[in-house]
Structure 1
Amino acid sequence: MTFADFVRLTRAYVWVLVGCTVLGALLMMAKTTRDPVLYSATSSGLVVVGNATSAGEEQGNSALAEEKAGLYAFLVNSEPVAEKVVEDLGLDVPPAEIAGRFSATVNADVNALTVTAIGSTPEEARDLATSVVDAVVEYAQEVDTGEANPKQDPLTRIVPVSPAQLPGAPFTPDYRKAAMKGAAGGLGLAYAFLIARRLIDRRVRSVKHVEDATGASVLGIIPKEDALDRGHRGVRGDLGRAAEAFRQLRTNLRFVDVDNEPRKIVVTSALAGEGKSTVSSNIARLVAQAGTPVLLVDADLRRPMIASTFEIDGAVGLTQALAGDVEVRDVIVDSGLANLRLLPAGRIPPNPSELLGSLRMKQFIDDLAQDHLVILDAPPLLPVTDAGLLSAFCDGALLVQAAGKTQIEQSQHCRRILDQVGSRLLGVVLNKAPVKGATAIAYGGYGGYGGYGGYRAEEETRQKYSTAGKGRRKLVKSLKG
């Protein structure tokens, strides 16, 4: 994941991240309310050995004091010392329990011992910190002399430097610290989940995914647009922000091979629902709008869509022509748009693959390509073999992939199928691309095209579309008669 991906992820899920951060802070604070209220008091002193009368003796005493300070720090939380503290303060608690409340640190540079004690009240914490210092010295002398109550004054003593004071506030529960820890934990877990989900996601979400999987260029990125999901699939000219994307696809398709311009193009996808019929219908319309005669053939004999998209009668069409019932040119109908003609699927046959892979189908396509750019809306590649058969005798295939839906493995399988039948993959159309969120695909900004008058040509299409299908209805009536 790149830094740009991380930024997009953050922007897309900013409220999720904020919510997890706040939730983590609240949960940690709620947990902290169950912690006991404890106070901490500290006392410190210098460890002094004897009374030196010379520099050499002073040096020796300093070395001994350093050793004693380390010993005292070790003994601070021992049970014998805790017994003396309990006895001194008259506490009614087991020594083993109170021993864990003491801790000590040593500053070896000046032989200073700092003792910290924890209590449930400020007074208890102060008294414990004061008592433990005396108890340590007393117990250390017993260890040195081997006597329970030595009669001589101790050689080593602790000179108080900072006696224990009443603590002003408890050190726990610390709600601020707990909230910061909880917030950091919540934010970290949220990021970990989002990043892990993104990394294990095997769906096509970027141009790089498509190009790595298929080895072909992405000729167009079609943004997700509500108008494309309606019954007419945008052919009335209301493509919205997808209008310029389709024009870019039309331009790129022209330059796929300038020396041998494709005249027979199969439009297919990996699975159903990826928008192949939408892409084939709109690219046919826009190429025709540019002045090239186009014939859009509904070669999906299992789930034909072209008739309903252009609102024409599709009862008679390609299947009847392949069966020899009618001439193929007799079932071609004017769409009502300049330079665009349609060949609907006709009756759904029991053997679509045999019909589409027949020599008669190849002859039809070769003949029609003499005076048209033939675009065939074919079935998906993975469930059935129809698109592979068609692409074998056409100039190439245009593969439609749905961003966030098509799996990378499915893209790879589509490429293998086309290679096996000797077909040429002209390029890939990345359809339904999100324009916002973490999975948004950069395309120069869809919203910026409006200022160039990009939608004006669509108005002509909307006006012309109102006449589409009239000639078709008359032809069907004559054939049925």
Structure 2
Amino acid sequence: MTFADFVRLSRAYVWVLIGCTILGALLMIAKTTREPVLYSATSSGLVRVGAASTAGEEQSNSQLAEDKANLYAFLVTKTPVAAEVVDDLGLDVPPEAIAGRFSASVDAAVNSLTVSAVGTTPEEARDLANAVVDAVVVVARDIDGGTLTRIIPLEEAQLPGAPFTPNYERAAMKGAIGGLGIAYAFLIARRLIDRRVRSAKHVEEATGASVLGIIPKEEALGRSHRGVRGDLGKAAEAFRQLRTNLRFVDVDNEPRKIVVTSALPGEGKSTVSANIARLVAQAGTPVLLIDADLRRPMIATTFEIDGAVGLTQALAGDVEVKDVIIDSGMTNLSLLPAGRIPPNPSELLGSLRMKQMIDDLALDYLVILDAPPLLPVTDAGLLSAFCDGALLVQASGKTQIEQSQHCRRILDQVGSRLLGVVLNKAPIKGANAIVYGGGYGGYGGYGGGYKSEYKSREAYSTAGKGRRRREAKVDKADTPVTPDKPARPVKAGRTSKR
């Protein structure tokens, strides 16, 4: 994880991090309230040995005083010193119970001994600190029998003004740091082990193909008509960009038979195929959208047409294909519904009759086939084998990287060409929107936020600018925009428009 990834992660989960920080502080404060209230008092004195008459004796006595001070500091926490303190103060506690309340430090520069004592009341802490200094001298004399060493009181212990524990400020700081650290550890670990597709980089590394479009999450796309009525909302510009990029995938050999598929159900392949067919048709190209998903057909429901008779009857020879092609009521867009669901979809779709039918239809139309997912069944692989290429739809935050790689292997095995990938259901706000550049904003009110992800499309979107300008003018001048009309069959004598 780079520093930029860390910053994006922090921005994405800023409220989670703040919440964990506050929670950690509150938990530590709650824990601290259970601690006893304790006071600390400190006394100090200078350690001196005998009286020196010469400089040599003074130096020797100073060294001895330093040694004695270190000995006293060692003895402060021992039970014999605690026993002397208990006798001196008349306490009704065992020496072992208060031995751990004492601590000492030595300043070797002046041979001073500083003693600290802890008590449950200010008076107890003061008395213990003063008594322990005298007790240390008594115990030291019993040990080494010396009489020349003494401790000159320097500062007696005073009543402490406030307890040193519980310290709520320090506890809150510790809890906040701990909560923040745990939150970051969880988020970073979660991101590192996450194998779902979340960016164009993930898709390109897994499939080796360019991302032709990034379609944001949009409520209109989740409805039964999947946005084909034109109410694409924030996804409108993304679909137009996809249409442009698809046009320039191969300028010299423009694909006429395109299979739209995905790794698994629910990734939005039918939504993408229906809307890209509508937009390409709107730009002036005759398009035939075929519902080749003979297991879960969606085109009839999406366009609100009668799908009882369609592709399966044409493949079975019951009807002529031209008799079941339906005018969608939209300019240049025709539909071929799935028809009756057969018991053997793979055999029908992989048949020579299916190949011949698509080849014949491609003379008059740009044929777009809404195919089943690649991983559960073989239908899409069979179709893409005799088409010009496949458009793979991947759902952001759902499709696994391994699934993307498997899709590419399937297409390679059947000799199909992967035209590109559509990254669908990209979040426009929240955690993962940061990965895509912070959501929508800028150009046209939306779409500009995906700047970092559009790098993979620059090769397509920058080519043929002059041609697109001329075509845009022709579309505005010559292409009429008509309201939706009732669905009607295409006439049998339709001539080639190619």
Q: Same fold (TM over 0.5)?
A: yes
Q: Is residue 113 of structure 1 aligned with residue 110 of structure 2?
A: no
Return the alpha-carbon distance in structure 1 between the equivalents of residues 392 and 437 of structure 2.
19
Match of 1:442 among 428, 432, 436: 436
1:329: Cα distance to partner? 1.8
Deviations 1:377-426 (A, max 9, x none): 00000110000000001111110000111111111111111111111111
1:312: Cα distance to partner? 1.1
Return the alpha-carbon distance in structure 1 between the equivalents of residues 304 and 11 of structure 2.
42
Match of 2:484 among 451, 466, 475: 466
1:443: Cα distance to partner? 5.5
**1:348-387 matches, cutoff 5 A:** 348-387=341-380
Return the alpha-carbon distance in structure 1 between the equivalents of residues 91 and 369 of structure 2.
94
Deviations 1:319-358 (A, max 9, x none): 1111111111221122111121111111111111000000
Matched residue, 1:479: none
The count of corresponding residues between Structure 1 and Structure 2 is 463
Matched residue, 1:68: 68
Match of 1:430 among 399, 412, 423: 423
Q: Is the 8 A contact 2:327 2:490 kept in 1?
A: no
Return the alpha-carbon distance in structure 1 between the equivalents of residues 35 and 437 of structure 2.
54
Matched residue, 1:85: 85
Matched residue, 2:163: 170
Tell me the amino acid that sits aligned with residue 450 of structure 1: G
Matched residue, 2:290: 297
Tell me the amino acid that sits aligned with residue 215 of structure 1: G
Once the two structures are overlaid, the 10-residue window that deviates more, 54-63 or 95-104, is 54-63
Q: Is the 8 A contact 1:238 1:462 kept in 2?
A: no
1:114: Cα distance to partner? 1.0
Identity %: 82
SS at 2:442 equivalent: helix
Return closer, same or farther for 1:439/1:462 CA change in 2, 3 Å cut-off.
farther
Match of 1:418 among 391, 408, 411: 411
Deviations 1:232-283 (A, max 9, x none): 1001100001000011111111121222211111000011110000000111
Return the alpha-carbon distance in structure 2 between the equivalents of residues 326 and 401 of structure 1.
35
Structure 2: give runs of 5+ residues left out of the alignment. 449-474, 493-498
Matched residue, 1:313: 306
Deviations 1:140-160 (A, max 9, x none): 111112xxxx8xxx2111222
Return the alpha-carbon distance in structure 1 between the equivalents of residues 413 and 445 of structure 2.
46
Match of 2:279 among 280, 283, 286: 286
1:473: Cα distance to partner? 10
Q: CA-atom RMSD, angstroms?
A: 2.3
Return the alpha-carbon distance in structure 2 between the equivalents of residues 173 and 453 of structure 1.
54
Tell me the amino acid that sits aligned with residue 446 of structure 1: Y
Q: Is residue 326 of structure 1 aligned with residue 338 of structure 2?
A: no
1:445: Cα distance to partner? 4.8
Structure 1: give runs of 5+ residues left out of the alignment. 476-481
Matched residue, 1:259: 252
Return the alpha-carbon distance in structure 2 between the equivalents of residues 226 and 468 of structure 1.
26
1:222: Cα distance to partner? 0.2
Return the alpha-carbon distance in structure 2 between the equivalents of residues 344 and 443 of structure 1.
39
Return the alpha-carbon distance in structure 2 between the equivalents of residues 472 and 232 of structure 1.
20
Matched residue, 1:478: none
Return the alpha-carbon distance in structure 2 between the equivalents of residues 372 and 44 of structure 1.
99
Return closer, same or farther for 1:443/1:117 CA change in 2, 3 Å cut-off.
closer
SS at 2:267 equivalent: coil
TM-score by length of 2: 0.89
**1:205-244 matches, cutoff 5 A:** 205-244=198-237
Matched residue, 1:276: 269
Matched residue, 1:401: 394
Once the two structures are overlaid, the 10-residue window that deviates more, 7-16 or 426-435, is 7-16
Tell me the amino acid that sits aligned with residue 413 of structure 1: H
Tell me the amino acid that sits aligned with residue 184 of structure 1: I
Return the alpha-carbon distance in structure 2 between the equivalents of residues 422 and 201 of structure 1.
31
1:450: Cα distance to partner? 3.5
